[in-house]
Structure 1
Amino acid sequence: MRKLERENESLRHAIENYRELERRRASGPSAPGTAGGEDAEDGEEDEVEKAVEVSPNGTFLKFNEEIGRGSFKTVYKGLDTTTGVFVRLLSGNRLSKKDRDRFREEADLMKGLTHPNIVRFYDFWEVDKPKRSCIVLVTELMTSGTLRTYLKNFGQKKVSLKIIKLWCRQILRGLQFLHSRNPPIIHRDLKCDNIFISGTTGQVKVGDLGLATLKNRSFAKSVIGTPEFMAPEVYEEHYDEAVDVYAFGMCMLEMVTAEYPYSECTGPAQIYKKVITGIKPSSFEKIEDAQTRELIEWCTRLNNKERPTVKQLLNHEFFAEDCGMRLDVANREETVSSDRSVIELQLRVLDAKKRRDTHKENEAIQFNYVLNKDNPEETAKQMVMSGLLAEENWRPVAKMIVNQIQSLVRAREEKRREQAVPQTQSAPAAGPAPTAPGAAVHASVHASASLPAVSAPVDTSVSTESDAALSEKKEKKIRPRRRKTCERLPRLTVLEVKGSDNGPVVSCLLETNQSQAITFKFDLHEADVTAISYKMVYECNRLQ
């Protein structure tokens, strides 16, 4: 308490000194001869020197204390002079006039987003100088930083499932608030780097909403966010709130495994190929808890129509508050493999205060539920009328029945899909050896026209050396590349070629040397590929 009082006192002094210095500057130089005046003024200037920039209205001070940095932003510590509360200042990269106009329209909307699990957006101001043109965002400052940084503090020790559930509930509540606006607000760039936590209270908030909007509006929606957390439909630029559910599933995967999704991939092109084919990250196999694994798989399904809504997730028993009861499907594996409509359920009352005298701690209430016939609420009320449950417990039991039946139906559908897939992958047909990701695509780029693709040189000379000597030479050529990964050049990959009334339409993915991923499309017959390449280089340099 004393430490907090001292910090508040120092803040008050800093604000008073700053305001006093502003008054002196406005009134002109002070008269000489004042005893100790020069020393006092120097002390005040030293105190104010920490503030390197002031908002146009004089409300916010920006200190030269960098607290975070990303490919799109630099984060500084700031101060609200009206309240004495520290804030977070995000200074973004250069933006076009069109992007600024769009952001101004959304600024008032973001100021009105007030929710316990959404980082508060206070204000913004524009910096328009010859060598520096950007927008500075002022948001709430969370004391413990991002959730990803917080996870790193645990080291090799995994976070308990109880804490993960607590975090996830708060993230889902924040997303539900955004998705329930009219029109719905989609975050588009949800990841653990954009989720913030207060370590002293355990409060979690979803942040960088305005920044995510800026990133996705830049470069005609072609500059996309973080590939590891992007749903497949984002690449097609036709998406809805389901992209946030997909990203939430990847965030949950990172919390459970303490590994960044798709860390086994070497670049955005490899991640893209896995994402659009529905291949999960390798860390997905490390999930130990079956229910957690099922939930993450549900959230990250390839078809966005098969993913749950945020509301469905909040109603799921996994994220529900501990009600002192647990419901399970009896002989679950056998029930999943069968097509029986009569399901045996077992309810265990773990809280002694909710347990009836007729039931012991190790006993379960077993009852049948008929699919497509019985109603969860009516079933729970019948248990109350039979004296098996207290009247205040029928709602939690009804919700648990709904969740168990939905989980069982999903498991049966997944089982049927696995059985329907022909087992041909175990014995692949003979054919050419697999190539490195993007190799075939680069070949098609060179054959199509003069597209500005970067490809590794191909050695077409005929050699008479043995296979062993050739393989040894290849290994020697590859080793230096691994040491020079930081010096890689931009890389262009053709994603697909679709036919249209005007001819073939080519979709491409460009990986810049700053690990940015840019997708774009063009008409093969009518487009000027040279102009496209110059435009891409210009936009990449502008956004860096």
Structure 2
Amino acid sequence: MEWRRGQTIGCGSSATVSKATCCRSGEIFAVKSVELSRSELLQREEKFLCSLSSPYVVSYKGCDITSENNNLMYNLKMEYAAAGTLIDVIRRKSGELDVAMIKCYTQQILQGLEYLHLSGVAHCDIKGTNILICDTGAKIADLGCAKRVDSESDLTARIGGTPMFMAPEVACGEEQSFAADIWALGCTIIEMATGESPWPNISDPMSILYQIAYSGRTPVVPEYLSRQAKDFVSKCLKRDQKERWTVKQLLKHPFLAEFSYVKNHNFLDSNSPTSILDQGVWNSIEVESETPNDVFDLQTKYLSSCPDQRMTRLLSSSRVPNWTCEETWITIRDSNNEEEL
């Protein structure tokens, strides 16, 4: 398919997202691009996307390699989301969403997770900046941290995601599976309700990881939410992953029982579109590992020591930006691609 690259709509540390147009049909889509020599992680994401098909997961449009400015570029083509990310919607709604919108988006995110989990895929990085808002509603995007979960896999082999949204077992470096997505969903609901991170009063990364891993605490659920909403979030934020509710259980929770989706609901507005790599969002800046031997090769370094040492190693690289500011929170990704997809 011949296509034309348009304006840049998002930038990350290792990829750029542009608006693109098909020359023949005029169809608009998004293209996530990186130099071919650094495209290992993007190619891994492509292997996930091309095998998935759900109205609640961003659609795959193909991939190709182009020559631009004397560089070979690897391009992952995806569905275009004119309303941007869930975080963009929250900002346009003065920092918080009403209960009806929270129910609507929660229902759709859960349906996306149901599809992924039934497909044997854990997303591993659910958060507002990885949820795109299209004309039909919320869709899960950015599978750069995703992993396949099966009975033979070593669940400690790949640990990734955004620290603020990590479940206790992930912060400890023990396991990352379907239950971790449920914890992250609970954090995302808090994000929708408050416009803030799930741990708003802590900025030091070591403190956050220790808080999640060892304090016994959970993120604070906003008081203004209904009793049913609070109970729903509490089922997501069980510190013991065995007690955490599954997607199937949550879809039957009373909080969503009377949910009714309005087909003509206007999810779009006149604001300029953004994308899953909106650089201005504090927790969407991504630093991806590009060689098996750097600080984010978590299988050989982060997971080879006790929990205290693992968290220390996680924060000890000179490549990590200034972690004291909310706007520099990063997504951690393991670059080991030996796992068969």
Given the two structures, how large is their TM-score scaled by the length of structure 1? 0.45
Q: What fraction of aligned residue pairs are identical, expressed as a percent?
A: 29
In structure 2, the partner of 1:513 is: 321
Letter in 1 for 2:43: F
Letter in 2 for 1:208: D
Whole-Å separation in 2 of the counterparts to 1:167 and 1:193: 13
1:62 aligned onto 2:5: yes
User: For the Cα contact (< 8 Å) 1:256–1:287, is it kept in 2?
Assistant: no
Alpha-carbon shift at residue 61 of structure 1 (Å): 2.1
Alpha-carbon shift at residue 175 of structure 1 (Å): 0.9
In structure 2, the partner of 1:31 is: none
Whole-Å separation in 1 of the counterparts to 2:25 and 2:37: 31
Alpha-carbon shift at residue 240 of structure 1 (Å): 1.5
1:160 aligned to 83, 86, 98, which one? 98
1:138 aligned onto 2:71: no
SS of the residue aligned with 2:145? Answer: helix
In structure 2, the partner of 1:103 is: 43
1:272–1:310 distance in 2 versus 1, CA, 3 Å: same
User: For the Cα contact (< 8 Å) 1:178–1:185, is it kept in 2?
Assistant: yes
1:147–1:133 distance in 2 versus 1, CA, 3 Å: same
1:90 aligned onto 2:28: no
In structure 1, the partner of 2:253 is: 316
Whole-Å separation in 2 of the counterparts to 1:244 and 1:169: 14
In structure 2, the partner of 1:289 is: 226
Whole-Å separation in 2 of the counterparts to 1:128 and 1:276: 46
SS of the residue aligned with 1:315? Answer: coil
Name whichever structure is richer in helix by fraction. Answer: 1
SS of the residue aligned with 1:276? Answer: helix
SS of the residue aligned with 1:212? Answer: coil
User: For the Cα contact (< 8 Å) 1:126–1:134, is it kept in 2?
Assistant: yes
Whole-Å separation in 2 of the counterparts to 1:207 and 1:273: 28
In structure 2, the partner of 1:263 is: 200
Alpha-carbon shift at residue 234 of structure 1 (Å): 2.4
1:114–1:162 distance in 2 versus 1, CA, 3 Å: same
Structure 1 unaligned regions, length at least 5: 1-57, 215-219, 324-493, 500-504, 521-538, 540-544
Letter in 2 for 1:167: Y
SS of the residue aligned with 1:284? Answer: coil
Whole-Å separation in 2 of the counterparts to 1:112 and 1:519: 21
1:192 aligned onto 2:132: no
Whole-Å separation in 1 of the counterparts to 2:164 and 2:104: 24
Letter in 1 for 2:145: A
Give RMSD over aligned pairs: 3.6
Higher relative contact order (CA 8 A, sep 6+): 2
1:204 aligned to 128, 138, 142, which one? 138
Alpha-carbon shift at residue 497 of structure 1 (Å): 6.0
SS of the residue aligned with 2:62? Answer: strand
User: For the Cα contact (< 8 Å) 1:510–1:519, is it kept in 2?
Assistant: no
Cα deviation 1:493-541 (Å, max 9, x = unaligned): x999649xxxxx9433333125447699xxxxxxxxxxxxxxxxxx9xx
Whole-Å separation in 1 of the counterparts to 2:166 and 2:245: 16
Whole-Å separation in 2 of the counterparts to 1:94 and 1:230: 30
In structure 1, the partner of 2:280 is: none
Alpha-carbon shift at residue 294 of structure 1 (Å): 2.0
Alpha-carbon shift at residue 221 of structure 1 (Å): 6.5
Alpha-carbon shift at residue 233 of structure 1 (Å): 2.2
Alpha-carbon shift at residue 93 of structure 1 (Å): 7.1
1:517–1:194 distance in 2 versus 1, CA, 3 Å: closer
Between the two proteins, the alignment pairs up a number of residues equal to 273
Letter in 2 for 1:122: K
In structure 2, the partner of 1:78 is: 20
Whole-Å separation in 2 of the counterparts to 1:128 and 1:59: 13
Whole-Å separation in 2 of the counterparts to 1:62 and 1:514: 33
SS of the residue aligned with 2:28? Answer: strand
Given the two structures, how large is their TM-score scaled by the length of structure 2? 0.69
Whole-Å separation in 1 of the counterparts to 2:78 and 2:210: 36
1:153–1:185 distance in 2 versus 1, CA, 3 Å: same
Whole-Å separation in 2 of the counterparts to 1:74 and 1:517: 16
Alpha-carbon shift at residue 287 of structure 1 (Å): 4.6
Letter in 2 for 1:239: Q
Whole-Å separation in 2 of the counterparts to 1:93 and 1:307: 40
User: For the Cα contact (< 8 Å) 1:229–1:246, is it kept in 2?
Assistant: yes
